[in-house]
Amino acid sequence: MSGYDFDLFVIGAGSGGVRASRMCAGHGARVAVAEERYLGGTCVNVGCIPKKLFVYAAHFSEDFEDAAGYGWSVGEPAFDWQALLANKDREIERLNGIYARLLDGAGVKRIEGRARLVDEHRVDVGGQVYSAENVLLAAGGWPHFPDIPGIEHAISSNEAFHLDRLPERAIIVGGGYIAVEFAGIFHGLGVRTTQLYRGSLFLRGFDDDVRETLADEMRKRGIDLRFEARVERIERGPDGLVAILADGEALEADRILYATGRRPLTADLGLEEVGVELDASGAVVVDEYSRSSVPHIWAIGDVTDRIQLTPVAIHEGMALAETLFGGRPTRPDHIDVASAVFSQPPIGSVGLTEAQARERYGEVEIYRSRFRPLKHTLTGRDEQTLMKLIVERGGGRVVGAHMVGPDAGEIIQGIAIAVKMGATKEQFDRTIGIHPTAAEEFVTMREPVS
Ligand code: NDP
């Protein structure tokens, strides 16, 4: 046994830090984890979980409208924001408790407070110094605001989860995951919602058909979605906040939410002093085993800015446990990571976009299907689902699968297994569909588009 207090000291009890702590303790390591804010990190407290609960809440407004086509009359629906907040908070408190019990049950020592490196093997938390053979940085990320006049009037997604009142009018700035998700949430809850994106088409990095389809669907629902819209400054006006755009237009709102990316939380952890290398965005530079530039200091999750997703942080944590205490050095695998955007309708995506596949393979075959979901034949709702497969010409391997439509995340999760296994289009074709589902379309697309 080493002469240190712990074999591993973890900074940050979010998705990655908690999983790494538990797995390392499972291998017999003596582990401590320090957390200054909340157990479970962004995902549990101000991210994935409350966001998905809000998405469910927002969807009811459509469901009530759609019910009429099936013979239901539901009267005039009313929404109570405070009730949603209270129920959401209760659930998060329950999850915080589960995280505490999981750590305690695994024998991990929990330490409350802000941790700071003293040197390579020592960490200070509130004046108490602990020594450890290895230190794991898993402090996560934080919303990043551009530096424009009046930005102090804007909120981030962190605050959106705790607003005392639901705004009547909201402006959302950004065109990534969080911006489109909150546009759908606010709009569904009855807020007049404007989304502003600085480029020509939002969701950069996603397949172009997906981006265009979601833009159409959001506009059909009544979201005021504007591209090439840059906010120059924000002012407080007599009737709320005013966003002044580069073209001079002034847009009023009660709340302005910025979702313009998240940056690694690496400031004031003592990293520079100890010699841990950071990149230009402040992310910890790691090798393929998650080792920082200092040999016994490791980093996983958003603090490394590889892929900012909870399941990726968890995967990195498990790989690290194998490397450090499992006797099996393991590199995390960042290839073909599926993800979903819980927009309305949602997006599911795995593998390459059409543009990426063309760049990598030259010629590719594209299979695409657009249809109105069966459910909406009776509701009359004008909603299109998009499904798309990208197939490498030579071997016929499916290298990308993308969807916009109900349950896209649920469906793409299954497809992702096939893509990860290297399944060919022929194997997709040999798979018999489940009828009637939307998902069966993924195994019945026969003719490539030209
Ligand atoms: P993203 O990186 O996804 O998107 C940031 C958006 O803000 C982009 O559209 C970007 O535009 C725009 N932007 C950046 N800087 C500025 C600026 N100065 N002025 C105006 N616009 C700007 O970040 P998010 O904040 O949406 O989310 C952070 C990460 O969290 C995501 O990347 C994702 O990995 C993760 N996440 C995952 C979710 C899920 O799995 N469902 C849900 C929520 C978050 P441009 O494209 O032009 O650079």
Task: List the catalytic residues.
Answer: 435
**Ligand 1 atom nearest residue 342's Cα:** 41
Angle at 281 between CA 204 and CA 182, to 5 degrees: 45
Q: What is the dihedral of CA 304, 309, 314, 317, to 10 degrees?
A: -10
Q: 259 C-alpha vs ligand 1 centroid, how far in Å?
A: 6
Q: Which residue's CA is the nearest one to ligand 1's atom 33?
A: 308
Residue 47 CA to ligand 1 center (angstroms) comes to 13
First-to-final CA distance of the chain: 65
Q: Among 121, 151, 147, which Cα is nearest to 136's?
A: 121
| Ligand 1 pocket test, candidate residues 178, 228, 309, most atoms within 8 A of CB | 178
Nearest CA to ligand 1 atom 30: 308
Distance CA 195, CA 80 (A): 24
Ligand 1 atom closest to the Cα of residue 143 is 25
Ligand 1 mean position, distance from CA 179 (Å): 7
Rounded to the nearest angstrom, the distance between the alpha carbon of 149 and the centre of ligand 1 is 21
- Which protein residues touch ligand 1 with a CB less than 6 Å away? 146, 173-179, 181, 197-199, 202, 204, 259-262, 308-309, 339-342
For the domain spanning 151-260, the CATH number is 3.50.50.60
Q: How far is the CA of 396 from the centre of ligand 1 (A)?
A: 33
What's the full length of the chain, in residues? 450
Q: Say how far apart CA 91 and CA 96 lie, in whole Å.
A: 9
Residue ID of nearest Cα to ligand 1 atom 24: 261
pLDDT tens for the chain, residues 1 to 450: 579 999 999 999 999 999 999 999 999 999 999 999 999 999 999 999 999 999 999 999 999 999 999 999 999 999 999 999 999 999 999 999 999 999 999 999 999 999 999 999 999 999 999 999 999 999 999 999 999 999 999 999 999 999 999 999 999 999 999 999 999 999 999 999 999 999 999 999 999 999 999 999 999 999 999 999 999 999 999 999 999 999 999 999 999 999 999 999 999 999 999 999 999 999 999 999 999 999 999 999 999 999 999 999 999 999 999 999 999 999 999 999 999 999 999 999 999 999 999 999 999 999 999 999 999 999 999 999 999 999 999 899 999 999 999 999 999 999 999 999 999 999 999 999 999 999 999 999 999 997
Alpha-carbon span 97 to 119, nearest angstrom: 32
Q: Which residue's C-alpha comes closest to atom 39 of ligand 1?
A: 341
- Assess whether the previous peptide bond of 345 is cis (omega < 30° from 0): yes
Alpha-carbon distance of 23 to 127, in angstroms, equals: 28
Q: Which segments of 106-197 does DSSP mark as H helices, in order?
A: 157-160, 177-188
- Level-2 CATH architecture, domain 6-143+263-325: 3-Layer(bba) Sandwich (3.50)
Best residue among 151, 158, 172, 177 to mutate for probing ligand 1, ranked by most atoms within 8 Å of CB: 177
The pairing of beta strand 297-299 with beta strand 128-137: parallel
**CATH T-level fold of 339-443:** Enolase-like; domain 1 (3.30.390)
Q: Is the dihedral of CA 353, 358, 364, 365 positive or negative?
A: positive
Instruction: Please classify residue 200 by burial: count the beta carbons closer than 10 Å to its beta carbon, then call 0-12 exposed, 13-18 middle and 19+ buried.
Output: exposed
Are 6-143+263-325 and 151-260 equal in CATH topology?
Answer: yes
CA–CA separation, 335 and 316 (whole Å) = 13
Q: Where are the domains of the chain?
A: 6-143+263-325, 151-260, 339-443
